[in-house]
Amino acid sequence: MAKQKPSVDQSVRLQKYIADCGVTSRRKAETMITMGRVSVNNHVVTVLGTKINPEVDAILVDGKTITSMGSDKMYVLLHKPRCVMTTVSDPEGRDTVMKYCGQITERIYPVGRLDYLAEGFLLLTNDGEVANWMMHPPGNLPKTYQVKVFGAVTEALLERLRHGVKLADGLLRPAIVRVIEQLPGKTWLEIVFEEGRNRDIRSFCEGVGMTVDKLRHEAVGGLSIEGIAPGNFVILTKKELLSAMGVDNTGLPLKGMKPYCSNKKTIALYKKGAQPTTPADYVGFRKFRKDTYFQTIQAIKEQKAITEEAARTGAPIKKGPVIKPVVREKRS
């Protein structure tokens, strides 16, 4: 009598299966399960870690059947524009990153978050495994940012940044901080972090008194958005994605992987040139921070309109609304 072949265990954790189907990330899938939005064979499941067999079990999310059959893995590198939400939809009706991927028929979702005013590197995919290690790297996955701040960045401010800034979740210390461009009233910095956790770049700069004008997430590992205009994207294979980033298929950096740095020369601060005269930690710049940015821009527009009207009619110039910056207590 022939021996029976041992059965192969086809079971998989429910949240992993949902992510692999491209519905959402694994972390968000866990939230959907605990909220009672997922059912298996018509029974609502709220216990994390529940195992299912995709071959025989019917999985529904929000009442709709999901399947991984025929779903190709997609890896889309988008240069997210400013003033766009990093979500699939927005209840306030603002533009989301999905607007720029309308021609892609596969269901993809953004990995991680870029704040509304930030632009730059954003990966969209339906590969749950890649999304998981992108958001929660198993090793130090370098990220490169370019930041434009108001005023002149002095050597003293650079040294404070290099020594690290204490944020709510601990000390954030960059691997590289350098000045790459000086404008008449603003300064561009390039900053590379090698720590695996999320980075609050605005708070990092504000921790030494600076105010961010523009924030661009430039690269992850060795993969950058260089050459991709805001709102445009490129589609990569998984092999291309991993190779360009310099990681293996689990997200761990390969030996010799170097983080992306632009080819812009480092500006020597002792060469005055076009260096702005107002220091970057000037308190007057704080009204342009995220909390009051839109109010300040609106106030500037209103004051401009008042001035233009006064010039046209000869009436005295009135002062528009005054915006007070939000002042936060310094962390020790």
3-state secondary structure of 135: helix
Is it true that 72-136+227-257 and 140-222+258-287 share their CATH fold?
A: yes
- The model's confidence at residue 327, banded by pLDDT at 50, 70 and 90, is low
Q: What's at 254, amino acid-wise?
A: L
CA-to-CA separations, 44 to 15, 37, 55, 95, in angstroms, rounded: 14, 7, 19, 33
Q: How many CA atoms lie within 13 A of 295 on its CB side?
A: 12
The yes-or-no verdict on residue 274 having pLDDT over 90 is: no
Range with the lowest mean pLDDT among 86-90, 143-147, 302-306?
302-306
Q: Quote the pLDDT of residue 244.
A: 95
The whole-number average pLDDT for the span 262-283 is 80
For all residues of the chain together, what is the average pLDDT? 86
Per CATH, which fold does 72-136+227-257 belong to?
Alpha-Beta Plaits (3.30.70)
- DSSP sequence for 189-245: EEEEE--SS---HHHHHHTTT--EEEEEEEEETTEE-TT--TT-EEEE-HHHHHHHH
The yes-or-no verdict on residue 235 having pLDDT over 90 is: yes
- The model's confidence at residue 20, banded by pLDDT at 50, 70 and 90, is confident
Q: What percent of the chain has pLDDT over 70?
A: 88
The residues that are catalytic are: 115
Q: Judge contact between 14 and 51, C-beta under 8 A.
A: yes
Residue pLDDT, tens place only, 159-180: 999 999 998 888 899 999 999 9
Specify the pTM.
Answer: 0.76
Domain ranges (residues) in the chain: 12-65, 72-136+227-257, 140-222+258-287, 291-332
Mean pLDDT is highest, among 103-112, 124-133, 258-267, 301-310, for 258-267
Rounded distance between C-alpha atoms, residue 288 and residue 214, angstroms: 11
Domain 140-222+258-287, classified CATH 3.40.50.150, yes or no = no
What is the phi/psi pair of residue 242, to 5°? -65, -40
Burial class (CB in 10 A: 0-12, 13-18, 19+), 246: buried
Rounded distance between C-alpha atoms, residue 322 and residue 303, angstroms: 10
What letter would DSSP give residue 131? H
Domain 12-65, classified CATH 3.10.290.10, yes or no = yes
The yes-or-no verdict on residue 88 having pLDDT over 70 is: yes
Rounded distance between C-alpha atoms, residue 293 and residue 309, angstroms: 25
Residue whose pair of structure tokens reads 């990093």 in the numeric block: 86
